[in-house]
Amino acid sequence: MKRLFAALLSAVLLFGFAPAAHADVAGLTFCADSPRFQERAAAAATEQAKARFTMYSQASCGEDGLPRLIVDGRFSHAGDFLIPGLLFLYMAGWIGWAGRSYMMAIRGKGSQMKEIQIDPGLALSCALGAAKWPVDAVGEMRSGAMFADDSRITVSPR
């Protein structure tokens, strides 16, 4: 009985009861085809604004004529969110790894003063070395250097 139920469940999930929806992304149109966007583009006064409207004419616009970001997983919209998102994560990791490297480098006597009065040479070398933080992070994860032993982690007595 369990096998029959599993087979039926698999068939339902595989074939589904409802047909797949094939609609445009939330009813958006290309900005070049949007009348409201064309009004906004015609009102552009500077060359910089005109260039911006030319660039955005390839994007998707709503009824108000404003460009929208599409985050649906398709690679055709990777420039909308995926690439800037990955760059943000890389930069945030770079800053965090540089701070971590600096704090590890100043361990020991006088470290509190070096937290207050930052050593510019050491900070710059840590920041430059942190550019390759993904490689360093994977290396430390594999070696176990990134993780502390359970005995060194304090636990609340509650």
Residue of 19 and 94 predicted with greater confidence: 94
Does a structural domain hold residue 152?
Answer: no
CA-nearest of 39, 77, 41 to 60 is: 77
Section 87-103 average pLDDT: 96
Does a structural domain hold residue 6?
Answer: no
Q: Which tens digits make up the pLDDT trace of 1-60?
A: 777 766 766 766 566 654 544 445 677 888 888 999 999 889 989 999 999 999 988 888
> Which range is least confidently modeled, 11-15, 105-109, 124-128?
11-15
Does a structural domain hold residue 121?
Answer: yes
Question: Looking at residue 23, what is its pLDDT?
Answer: 40
* 53: its two tokens: 């409207």
Instruction: Decide: 65 and 36 in contact? Cβ < 8 Å.
Output: yes
Does a structural domain hold residue 129?
Answer: yes
Q: Which residues constitute the domain of residue 104?
A: 91-142
Does a structural domain hold residue 7?
Answer: no
Label each residue of 74-114 as H, E or C.
CHHHCCCCHHHHHHHHHHHHHHHHHHHHHHHHCCCCCHHHH
Does a structural domain hold residue 119?
Answer: yes
Domain count, the chain: 1
Ramachandran angles phi, psi of 155, nearest 5°:
-125, 135
Does a structural domain hold residue 98?
Answer: yes
Question: Looking at residue 11, what is its pLDDT?
Answer: 67
Question: Looking at residue 22, what is its pLDDT?
Answer: 40
**Which residues, other chains included, contact 95 with Cβ-Cβ below 8 Å and sequence gap of 6+?**
130
Question: Looking at residue 21, what is its pLDDT?
Answer: 41
CATH code: domain of residue 137: 1.10.8.110
Q: Which tens digits make up the pLDDT trace of 72-91?
A: 777 877 888 888 899 999 99
Question: Looking at residue 8, what is its pLDDT?
Answer: 66
With tokens 């430059």, the residue in question is 128
Does a structural domain hold residue 100?
Answer: yes
